[in-house]
Amino acid sequence: MRRWRVLGTAGLVLLLMALSACSDPSQSAYVREQVLRLDVNRPVAWATDFPVEEPWTKGFRLNPTSIEQIQLSGDFGEHLSASQGMGTLIGKAQIGLKDFTVVQSRDVTIKGATTGRITRYTITDNNGSQVSGEWIVAARWPYPQSVAVSILTPQYDPELERQVLDSMELRPAQ
């Protein structure tokens, strides 16, 4: 009887340890990426690399054909402010993205940056479905430099936004 009690207690301790390790989902659901001057967390499941075009440096998807993706730019340019960098993205989107509509734009605080800005938007994808996107730009002054993150999901994901914003850092050259 004593042996079963000891084994039961040991099993309970192991179970509690396993549960406590899982209590912070951000620890297991996100992985750190470093791209030039940008440090940021991305979802672990979004591990499929895909080719990106400038200004993006690196891109990850949930799978090769998924809409869920994150693109990173570790050197977004010599923008004087995050608003200036965001204006560049919005201007290009108005010309090149179908049904581009800004949902919200606001200033945010990002580690290492003097200014930060996030813009949420919607577009129509190639299948005719509306999808949700976000751009986050961080800039540093007086030595102009910036980084950016682009996120695309089927619908707005506030938890993903929080994880990216809380982890994002501009590592300035000067």
Question: Does any domain span residue 52?
Answer: yes
CA distances from 129 to 68, 120, 125 (A): 13, 17, 5
Question: Does any domain span residue 7?
Answer: no
Residue 139 corresponds to which tokens in the numbers above?
């800039």
Residue 5 banded pLDDT, cuts 50, 70, 90: low
The pairing of strands 169-170 and 130-140 is unpaired
State the total domains in the chain: 1
Cβ 168 vs Cβ 39: under 8 Å = yes
Question: Does any domain span residue 17?
Answer: no
Residue 158 corresponds to which tokens in the numbers above?
């506030």
Question: Does any domain span residue 13?
Answer: no
Question: Does any domain span residue 24?
Answer: no
CB count within 10 Å of CB 63 equals 10
Question: Does any domain span residue 20?
Answer: no
Q: Which residue segment(s) compose the domain that 74 sits in? A: 31-170
Say if residue 13's pLDDT is above 90.
Answer: no
- Range of weakest confidence among 1-15, 17-31, 49-63: 1-15
Question: Does any domain span residue 102?
Answer: yes
* Residue 140 CB-density burial (10 A; 0-12 exposed, 13-18 middle, 19+ buried): buried
Q: What is the CATH number of the domain that holds 133?
A: 3.40.1000.10
Task: Give the whole-angstrom CA distance, residue 42 versus residue 174.
Answer: 26
* pLDDT, tens digit (0-9, with 9 covering 90-100), for 128-160: 999 999 999 999 999 999 999 999 999 999 999
Question: Does any domain span residue 1?
Answer: no
Peptide bond into 158 cis (omega under 30): no
Q: Is this model's pTM higher than 0.85 or not?
A: no
DSSP symbols for 21-62: HTS-HHHHHEEEEEETTEEEEEETT--EE----TT--EEEES
